[in-house]
Amino acid sequence: MKGYIEERAMEIARYIIDNNTTVRQAAKHFGISKSTVHKDCTERLALVSPALAAQVRKVLDVNKSERHIRGGMATKDKYLREKSYAK
């Protein structure tokens, strides 16, 4: 694996851990795709720094367990906005 990819994976991991962000938020911050963030954090990082990979996995697992709640809140907000525009 090339050095810059390893560095990117570690930088993304530190960002996710420090800011408790989602894959989507990290992708937007770094200007890369969600797929790249996910691959860096789940596959590449385990080869470079298993301890850091374990920390990121904890954050990602929490995000995954909460995503249905975030989706429901987003849908609720969407319909509330639509209702307020209809008045």
Report the distance separating Cα 7 and Cα 12, nearest Å.
Answer: 9
Position 3: which residue type? Answer: G
Report the pLDDT value the prediction gives residue 68, as an integer from 0 to 100: 76
Radius of gyration of the chain (CA): 16
Q: How far is CA 16 from the centre of its chain?
A: 7
Report yes or no: 37 and 23 within 8 Å, Cβ to Cβ.
yes
What number is the average pLDDT over the span 38-45?
94
Q: How far is CA 6 from the centre of its chain?
A: 18
Short-list 30, 5, 3, CA closest to 16: 30
Report the pLDDT value the prediction gives residue 21, as an integer from 0 to 100: 94
Question: Is the overall model pTM greater than 0.85, yes or no?
Answer: no
Show me where the domains of the chain are located: 3-86
Report the pLDDT value the prediction gives residue 87, as an integer from 0 to 100: 61
